[in-house]
Chains A and B, each alone.
Chain A
């Protein structure tokens, strides 16, 4: 299989393959790889399609992250507290895909409640990297990234609060796009941190991402943060000339004065990508940003996201929905449900969020984080007056091995492994595309653009990916014979 959406479309339209055959093949692949890589919470056997649509996605199989509401289909957010939850309404994104004739074949594993970036904390087990099962795929949209990397589906939907689409896309050698904040309705997405949450798309090429975006974007009166539709067809401009565009990278984030060997390989790859940009006529310049501001990116993200999630997830009581606890009073029942339903990691995040929101800490930890957020966004918007976008490596290296330690106070971790949060702070459209390999593991490059210029970002990414050899690649772990 491992066909792109475009290829599937052509085959369905020519009659050489049916939508149902594609669905069956997708489900069979999912079952084949489930034991080894664990991408799915639920694999959907039943072929259901709205045949009234003639959209590009009609008849195309796909997967949804399991924090997106699907009426009548188990939706767990990969948490024990929701392990029995069957939604009674559809998320807008699911409704749009259904109406476009796309065929849902599975709900994918995430880090519990979308918190975490490893793909190791879902209640049904860890998701393994399809390029090497000794390594993680990253998260939180771990199963969505893995299902696309494995060639099970041509596209999958994920959510992204810090980098939860764009980092696993890099580790999985696929494309991951988070559009402008509000471009896709979040009605029916289980909230993590509302001011940072986005929905987005994984695929194996940027053209496919644009095809999906054309269907799922648009205004939704059920989401008060939803933008008016931009009334653009992203395919119309995806192949536009990019000569004359200007990108910048941030010098401080790529500092390797410690001579880190893996980082050196990442920087070599980045230099290669810059040459590819230049071959397209894109000018790439170095810019400088105050290092203290960059070092504060990750703690700022942690402060804001943990504070918001502590409040958002207060509705997980096991009373109206979720697994009910035991006890003689409502309070005992809620406490029991939350004690048994959340993993240790989630509890630690909640405690941190609550600490940040205590009256005596609010000014120093929460409001100052919100102030840094503004300073970062203002600085980037200022640079966007001169440049069409920011280009950076998506991470400091290849996907880590399970259990590999990280120095969480190092400059490398605080800046290069977490700079993608800039896209969430400012709601900027942001895409990761594959850019090469180190030790047989994929690397990704990220382009982030101006708010509401989703089409420009897709255009630049499309042109750039077509100068490299990684379009439509499928993972090649030793035991895969795709």
Chain B
């Protein structure tokens, strides 16, 4: 695993890491990729359907398409760091 790939991934995830943190990350990747190799040891794995949930849920149905206003604007905005005119405020995107 090279540092540039890890930096590219961190950038996609929208954070930065310190140089010394990449060293730990690369060491950890060495172990994790060895662990991941264990996944490749299973014969005929390609014949198995991937499982994305523990079991089939047969009770899932779409809810009625009803308009429900659960939160007041004031409540929605209370945790935003900056707001104006009942909207979350951000710097201009288009100059």
Contacts and interface: CB of A to CB of B under 8 A. Distances in A.
Interface stretch (A7-15, A119-127, A370-378): A370-378
22 contacts: A181-B53, A292-B41, A295-B41, A300-B39, A303-B36, A303-B39, A317-B14, A324-B81, A328-B91, A338-B15, A344-B21, A348-B21, A351-B10, A364-B40, A370-B50, A370-B51, A371-B46, A371-B50, A372-B45, A424-B54, A427-B55, A451-B54
A322 B29 contact: no
B86 interface: no
Given A368-B40, A414-B38, A339 B15 contact: yes
Give the interface size bracket for B toward A.
35 or more
Instruction: Indicate the member of B10, B31, B49, B88 with the most A CB atoms within 10 Å.
Output: B10
A334 B32 contact: no
Given A182-B57, A319-B90, A86 B32 contact: no
A227 B55 CA distance: 11
Nearest to A181: B54
Interface string B32-76: 101110111110011011111111010110010000001100011
A16 B60 CA distance: 47
Interface string A325-365: 00111110111001100101001101110110010000011
Contacts of B50: 367, 370-371, 373-374
A261 interface: no
A302 B71 contact: no
B78 A350 contact: no
Contacts of A365: 36, 39
Interface of B: 5-6, 9-10, 12-17, 21, 24-25, 28-29, 31-32, 34-36, 38-42, 45-46, 48-55, 57, 59-60, 63, 70-71, 75-76, 78-82, 88, 90-91, 93
Nearest to B1: A355
A418 to B, nearest CB: 10
Give the interface size bracket for A toward B.
35 or more
Contacts of A427: 53-55
Contact of A329 (B24, B53, B79, B93): B93
A373 B71 contact: no
Interface of A: 84-86, 88-89, 181-182, 195-196, 219, 221, 224-225, 227-228, 292-293, 295-296, 298-300, 302-303, 310, 317-324, 327-331, 333-335, 338-339, 342, 344, 347-348, 350-352, 354-355, 358, 364-365, 367-375, 377, 408-409, 414, 424-428, 451
Nearest to A198: B54
Contact of A320 (B17, B52, B88): B88
Nearest to A369: B39
Nearest to A351: B9
B13 A195 contact: no
Given A85-B79, A339-B15, A377-B54, A352 B42 contact: no
A299 B42 contact: no
A448 B39 CA distance: 24
Contacts of B34: 409
B48 A375 contact: yes
Contacts of A328: 91
A318 B79 CA distance: 9
A408 B35 contact: yes
B16 A425 contact: no
Return the 3 tightest CB-CB contacts between A and B, nearest first: A324-B81, A427-B54, A370-B50
Contacts of B80: 319-321, 324
A344 B24 contact: yes
